[in-house]
Every structure is written in C-alpha cells, then in structure tokens.
Structure 1
C-alpha cells in the first residue's frame, strides 16, 4: 500500500504527466455527459426499454449505451474504427497505400487524412440506416422528413466530435484516445451489472459464498487475459559491427517481439458478425425457425460455442497473415545490417519468421477462442448476462489492452524522471510491441 501511495505521489509531482491525466479525465467526462443528450425531436420518455441484442448490442457496448439511448453520439467511434480497418487493409493490397506507409511521418499524415474522409462517408451511410431502423416512430415529436434530415446531420457531427475528442486525448492526454473512449463506455456498464449480480446472489438467493467465488474467478480470468495480451516470442537479431570515424555502430543483439495474439480483438469481432447471420435469417424467414439454424440463436448452446470458437481460430490466422508481414520485416532487418543468428538474410529469414508466427499463432488463437466463449459458460453457471460480459469476449480484451497501454505510458514518464516504475520488478508493456501489427498509421488501436 505504501508503494502505491508513493507511486501516486510521484505521478502527481511530474507537471506534464499531471496535466495530461487531468486533460484526459476532463475530455472523458465531457464525452460521457454529451452521450446522454438525446437526438433533437425525440421524446426520451417514449423510448421505453430500448435495449439491443446481437450485433446491435455489440455496437451499443462500444458506444457506451448511446446507441440504445438514441443519443447524438449513438454511432460513437465505430465509423472511425471501420475506416481505420479499411485503410489498414488497403495498405496491404494497394501499392499506393503501401508507398504512403513507407514515407514516414508525411505518409502517416496522408493516411490519417484519408481515414477521416472515409469516416465521414461511413458515418453518413450509417446515420441514414440508424434513423430509418432504430428510432421508434412513436418517439418522434416533429415532422418525420425534417427529423430524418436533422438527425442524419447531427449523428454525423456527433461521430466527428467523438473522433476529435479521441485525437485530442492522443495528442495532449495520456493513452490512445479512441481506445480510452471505447473503454469508458464499457466500464460505464460495470457498476449496474455488479449491483444486479450482488442483488441476485446476496439478497435474493443468499449466496454470499457464490458471489465471492465469482469475483475470484473474474480475477483469474483477467490474469489469464493479461498473459495472452502480453505473451511474446522474442526472436534474437544480431546487428553487424560498423566503424564510422572513431565511433562504433551496431554489434549488439536485440530482439523482435512477436506477439502471441497479434490480431487483438479483431477475430472476435469478425466471428461475431458472422454468427449473427443465422439469427437474422430466421427473423426475415420465419419458416427457418424450425430448422437447425435456431441453435445459433442461443449464445450458450454447444453448437454456437463450437462454431464461434472455430471462426475465431480461423480469423486469427487470417488477420495475422494480412497484418504481420515477414517479408517486410526481413527486408527492414537486412537494410539495417541485422540478421538472425544461424539464418541466412533474405528469403530464409522471412521463412523462419513466418514459421515462428505460425507456431505461436495457433495456441494464441485457441486461448483467444476460450476467452471469447467464457461469458457463455459464465451464464451457464448462473451468472447474470450483464455481469457475464466482463468474464471474457471483446469487452475484457479491450479493457485489459487499453489499461496496459495507458500504464505503459505513465511508467515511461516516471522512468524518464528517474522515479521507480509502477511495479517493483519488471516493466509494464503494452500491445505496441509488433510494428507490423498496426501499419496504417491510424490512431485507432483496439
């Protein structure tokens, strides 16, 4: 406890770090306040129980509940995230985007600008769909045509406002702004979920021991998730010794940290999108409700969990293959005079790196699949679905990853000022260990 207070005191002594933390907290408070502002022309009392499920529930989680509240920030940062993913994929397939990735700071600025323009387009399309399908007609107080035009404009402006807040946090605050905004939206659900679980266990069932076991299990799951997020395979790299004048360059051994889970949460998001297809088909075609497709309407069913796990493993290999480029890593190593001991530079090096990535990706994908289906297992054990979401899946991975990234930045400030780090032994490391895993230059890191 003394170590904790000493660390907090050291953090407060660093003026720049203190100002960045305060700035970040103020921006996040502004975001949470504005997220409760309902669209103009909507009667908030007429919305009733507007909770979402399925893919819409996932969007509502990322938006911090704004999606179901019909807020002016209902679309949140998801259009920006979608645009960032599109630009990242274009950087793999389109030569002109690959060229911009290699242009350094100027190239990153161009890609960020393209991402912003693409965000405007995606937001406009999603705003039209949201107003048409998600706003109850009985809650609209003004002319429907005027409401449609006004709401489309307001929703688009709201997403751009959230994007601006995220970039301001990244520039003048601490941590990645977009990721922090998503994290705050997820954490906002925790107090109510915990209250419901405590009420259900202690007051209704009288199961205080069961509640304690649930908290212990949650702690163990969080520790397991941290191991997956932090796990790396260090590949040694030796740099040739060069003498320039009276100075020696190179001649040192470094490491390439290849992440066990280089794909992050993207495989879960892709897999969830596919798992919602059977449910959507049964809604449009009622005759299919008596077929085998109905099994995929229950997230706790065995068929759903096995299929979900298989899709996550497949998408983990796919996303890792398109984001981590062994050939580029080998070329960069060769240009800087580096080589892996015992491996020839060039094709042999890229093949070796690709083989290592393949070997570590399989256990990483299996562990990721286990984390993804843990909420369903928690529901099977009688945990409320709202609280079970924090036992795994996208929400837990985002929370763990964002917290680690933010703590890593805080610790770097402490170490630069010659203070002790956040831990007595070791150092906090975030998810940014693999440069190839985020090649778009975008600030949107999930």
Structure 2
C-alpha cells in the first residue's frame, strides 16, 4: 500500500498481513482431528493446567489439527539459541542463517513427533476396532503437520507482519482470559483481577524503567558528549521468559506422560505424574525454577556482556571510569546477572502468589492463572506498542525530494 506521495505505508501493510495470518490460525484451531469425538471435549470448567496449555498451544481441548500450537517452534527456537551460544564459546565461526533455519525446522519436527506420540493415546475417537488405529495414525500426522504449519505462519508473520510468534500467544491469552471472565461471577473474580491489575502495573514499571550506564563516545565532541549511555531495562528480556517457561514446563510433563505409557508400574514415574502439576508444591517449585533459569539465562544470552565489551574495543568507546576489555566485560556481567535476578524474582513472585493462594484454597483453580495471563498480556502489549510506534514513525518520515 502507498500514500499519496508515493511512499509505502509499512504499518498498514504489516497489520493487514498479521490480520490475515491470525484469521488462518483461528480457523485452523476450530478444525477437529480426523474421527475425533468432539462431544468428549465439551468441558465447562478449566484448571491451572488447562489454562497453561491454552496459553502455549491455543487449543484448550487439544483436539484440533493445530492442537500442538506454538509449543514445538518455541522450544526449538530456544534450543537452537542455546546451541549457538554454547558453540560461540568454542569457535568464532558463525552459523549461516540458512543452516540455523534448517536446524530449527529439524528440531521442531522432532519435538512435534515426540509430542504427538505422547498425546495421541490420550485422545478420544468416535470409532473403534480396526479403524481406531488408522484414526490415531492420521490424527498424529495431522498434529505434526499442524505444528509445522504454525511454524511457517510464525516465520511469515515475523518477516511481513507484527511481532512474529508473539501475536499467536497473545491471541491465545486473550481468548482464555475472555472465556474465564465469562464463566465466573464478579465475586470470584475479585481477588484474581486485583492481583492481575497489580501484576500488570509491576510489569509496566519494569518494562519502562531502565538502568543507564554512562558511556564515552570518541566520535562525539559536543555538548551531548556527557549524555551518552548504555540503557538496560530492569526487565532485560521482557516477558519472553514467562512465555517460554510455560512451554518448558510442559516438556517434563510430556516426558513423564510418555514414560508412564511404557512403564505404568513404576512408582517414581507415577509420583512425578501426580506431583508435576501447578496444583502441587513440587510442580510450582519446578515452574518457578524454570522461570528463574530462563530469565537469567536469556538476560546473559540476549545482552551478551562479552559481545558488548568487544564492540567497545573495536569502536574505541568505553564505559566511564572503566578500562575497555576484561574490566568492562566483568562489570557488564555483574549488571546483567543482577538485573536478570531482579527480573526473575519479581516475575517469579507474581507467578507464585496466586499459585500459593490456590494451595490454601483462597483462589479457585480455574482462576489461578488469570493474573499471570494478564501480566503476560501487559508485557506483550508493551513490546507490540514499541514496534508499532517505530513503524508509525518510519511511515511519518517524508522524502527529501
């Protein structure tokens, strides 16, 4: 699309593209698997586990062709990033974007197959006998194909739309929040909504507060030379760790579920199946531990102190009162770890409070994830607002000639 002056309107184009992508995604979520018993998935109540699945996958009943959701692509992206980070510690040879993409596709396919194998035995079909095995095989292939299709949609939206896979998770969160609000009285919603409002305010402050590290720029010799700084948000990598925590937490659940199929008599596996849940203290501990590890790890991975220190060495710039090189790297490492720990603690406390209140019986299990969903929605909104604002500023520029 173009304006009257011949300049392309990038924001409108990206918004329209994302709208079309989301329409396809929503339609796909409502197409049931082959020979699935749809009536068996007409549930009237939800719990913490159901809401977590909905947030990550987008299909509450897990009975559509897109039942696996964005989970496989999220986990594969995380694993590839970790692989590249560890690889970078031993070699300076960069992995090409094409090879990285092929690795991501391969890992996504493997995770999708693993997840489909674990999920198919739990599905309820409308056929029996010899047709049941055929229906399970076709349903498994549909689930894997759906996961790869979602990955393709995320990739296309990342290139031509707004916010990549984040918009898919945002739609899932909005859908579940809306269904939760409609299914409960205002009296029951009072405490979760109050917690959610407080958590949204906390995340809003964390997203818009930053630590400014004074920097000396050798190329600036005017009145602005003392106003240069390296800005790091108090929430260094945003709400992304919470989103990935939901996906990572489902991974051991799927593994334990799969082991339970092959070793049904093992007491240890049965104990893990029972306690690896957000309604149990052990499951809550594992969930918060995953959030801590991912938040601090992402902070050091995305804002790598070594890379920043190396850039300073190449440009000749430096942090005020610090020598370039090892001293800068060590200082930035401390800053990133502290901010990562602060972010992990704040978000971990926000997640843990409603879960603990659930254990005490103060919050209905069907509402326990509502505050966390509202917190995630605020984080996504901040990121998308910045992206839309940047595109709007770009469109507002006028050509010189």
TM over 0.5: yes
**CA offset at residue 110 of structure 1?**
3.4
Partner of 2:138: 150
Deviation string 1:242-275 (CA, Å, 9 cap, x unpaired) is 89xxxx9x96853323343335425844884699
Distance 1:235 1:135, change over 3 A: same
Gaps of 5+ in 2: 1-7
Partner of 1:172: 160
Partner of 1:258: 232
**CA offset at residue 123 of structure 1?**
1.8
Please, which moves more after superposition, 335-344 or 355-364? 355-364
Q: For 2:309 and 2:202, locate their aligned partners in 1 and report how far apart those are by CA, in whole Å.
A: 32
Distance 1:305 1:112, change over 3 A: closer
Partner of 1:190: 177
Task: Name the SS of the counterpart of 1:256 in structure 2.
Answer: strand
Say whether 1:74 aligns with 2:61.
no
Q: For 2:247 and 2:192, locate their aligned partners in 1 and report how far apart those are by CA, in whole Å.
A: 29
Q: Write the mapping of 1:418-429 to structure 2, written as runs, cut at 5 A.
A: 418=396
- Contact 1:296-1:304 within 8 A present in 2 as well: yes
Partner of 2:83: 90
Say whether 1:403 aligns with 2:391.
no
Greater relative CO (CA pairs within 8 A, separation 6+): 2
Partner of 2:28: 34
Q: For 1:290 and 1:130, locate their aligned partners in 2 and report how far apart those are by CA, in whole Å.
A: 17
Task: Name the SS of the counterpart of 2:183 in structure 1.
Answer: helix
Distance 1:155 1:141, change over 3 A: farther
What TM-score results when the alignment is normalised by the length of structure 1? 0.71
Deviation string 1:402-434 (CA, Å, 9 cap, x unpaired) is 222211122123323449xxxxxxxxxxxxxxx
How many residue pairs get matched? 382
What TM-score results when the alignment is normalised by the length of structure 2? 0.78
Say whether 1:120 aligns with 2:109.
yes
Task: Name the SS of the counterpart of 1:224 in structure 2.
Answer: helix
Task: Name the SS of the counterpart of 1:403 in structure 2.
Answer: helix
Q: For 1:300 and 1:152, locate their aligned partners in 2 and report how far apart those are by CA, in whole Å.
A: 29
- Contact 1:330-1:349 within 8 A present in 2 as well: yes
Distance 1:287 1:42, change over 3 A: closer
Please, which moves more after superposition, 73-82 or 111-120? 111-120
**CA offset at residue 320 of structure 1?**
3.7
Distance 1:153 1:362, change over 3 A: closer
**CA offset at residue 33 of structure 1?**
1.5
Q: For 2:309 and 2:193, locate their aligned partners in 1 and report how far apart those are by CA, in whole Å.
A: 45
**CA offset at residue 237 of structure 1?**
2.0
- Contact 1:239-1:338 within 8 A present in 2 as well: yes
Task: Name the SS of the counterpart of 1:197 in structure 2.
Answer: coil
Aligned with 1:368 (options 347, 365, 388): 347
Q: For 2:298 and 2:10, locate their aligned partners in 1 and report how far apart those are by CA, in whole Å.
A: 37
**CA offset at residue 238 of structure 1?**
1.7
Deviation string 1:12-70 (CA, Å, 9 cap, x unpaired) is xx94423322332232122112101111122312445498867676334311125x241
Q: For 2:123 and 2:214, locate their aligned partners in 1 and report how far apart those are by CA, in whole Å.
A: 56
Partner of 1:349: 328
**CA offset at residue 399 of structure 1?**
2.0
Q: For 1:357 and 1:120, locate their aligned partners in 2 and report how far apart those are by CA, in whole Å.
A: 34
**CA offset at residue 178 of structure 1?**
1.0
Partner of 1:386: 366
Aligned with 2:56 (options 62, 66, 84): 62
RMSD: 4.1
Distance 1:99 1:69, change over 3 A: same
- Contact 1:44-1:139 within 8 A present in 2 as well: no
- Contact 2:157-2:164 within 8 A present in 1 as well: yes
**CA offset at residue 211 of structure 1?**
5.3
